[in-house]
A and B are shown apart, each in its own frame.
Chain A
Amino acid sequence: EAGVVQSPRYKIIEKKQPVAFWCNPISGHNTLYWYRQNLGQGPELLIRYENEEAVDDSQLPKDRFSAERLKGVDSTLKIQPAELGDSAVYLCASSLGRGQTYTEAFFGQGTRLTVV
């Protein structure tokens, strides 16, 4: 079975340009997460979806970041315009999501964004 698939793997853009990342979660996983991992740091949650609903976007910088998960499957994370400080690895993860029961999150390989 395929794991969490992210694309592209690498992206280099100039500052002030837009960029988008795509994530295809594991089939049947209701919960989808986007994390940002800065160099030398642990992942930090940007947004969490339960099906198509964003249930936690408190850490998403809404002035320039947006996300969507149409039909509760694939998701796209967008930055517009990008700033130098947005350079990081953007990780997508998914889990079955069963209310209060813990379900393991599976991570994709990430998209490494470099803003120059």
Chain B
Amino acid sequence: AQSVTQLGSHVSVSEGALVLLRCNYSSSVPPYLFWYVQYPNQGLQLLLKYTTGATLVKGINGFEAEFKKSETSFHLTKPSAHMSDAAEYFCAVSNSGGYQKVTFGTGTKLQVIP
């Protein structure tokens, strides 16, 4: 079984401030981890993913995330928030072998204050 917990359904940051969105996962096997972004009335777009190798993963739009096995975490960060980053962000987990069923978290809505 696998699951994802996103801490904070809403996060507000000032423009230019650090963005930190938290994600903890549970998986009985080595996981693959993902962050997706969803803009209003749009589908989901992959921001970044961790499968194997380097634990610090860089994605699009200046976002990055670090896989920490000891903490079962995969937090998403961005050094400086832009107004265009306002959206909903979903953390997701899948198994690393066989059929990769992806389980999504409940999402964190990011508000960027000018």
Are A107 and B99 in contact, with the CB atoms below 8 A? Answer: no
Chain B residues within 8 Å of A93, by CB: 43-44
Of chain A, the residue at the smallest CB distance from B98 is: A100
- B-side interface size class: 20 to 34
Distance in angstroms between the alpha carbons of A27 and B84 in the assembled complex: 30
Whether A56 contacts B105 in the complex (CB less than 8 A), given A107-B43, A109-B41, A110-B43, comes out as no
Are B9 and A40 in contact, with the CB atoms below 8 A? Answer: yes
**Stretch of B14-22, B45-53, B63-71, B73-81 with 4 or more beta carbons under 8 angstroms from chain A:** B45-53
Chain A residues within 8 Å of B102, by CB: 45, 105
Distance in angstroms between the alpha carbons of A81 and B64 in the assembled complex: 44
Interface size on A, residues (CB 8 A): 21
Give chain B interface residues in 22-66, CB to chain A under 8 Å: 32, 41-46, 49, 51
Of chain A, the residue at the smallest CB distance from B109 is: A40
CB of A46 within 8 A of chain B?
no
Are A40 and B107 in contact, with the CB atoms below 8 A? Answer: yes
Number of A-B contacts (CB under 8 A): 50
CB of A79 within 8 A of chain B?
no
Distance in angstroms between the alpha carbons of A108 and B32 in the assembled complex: 22
Distance in angstroms between the alpha carbons of A107 and B102 in the assembled complex: 13
Are A100 and B97 in contact, with the CB atoms below 8 A? Answer: yes
Chain B residues within 8 Å of A108, by CB: 43
Are B41 and A42 in contact, with the CB atoms below 8 A? Answer: no
CB of B100 within 8 A of chain A?
yes
CB of A44 within 8 A of chain B?
yes
CB contact between A45 and one of B32, B44, B51, B101 (< 8 Å): that residue: B101
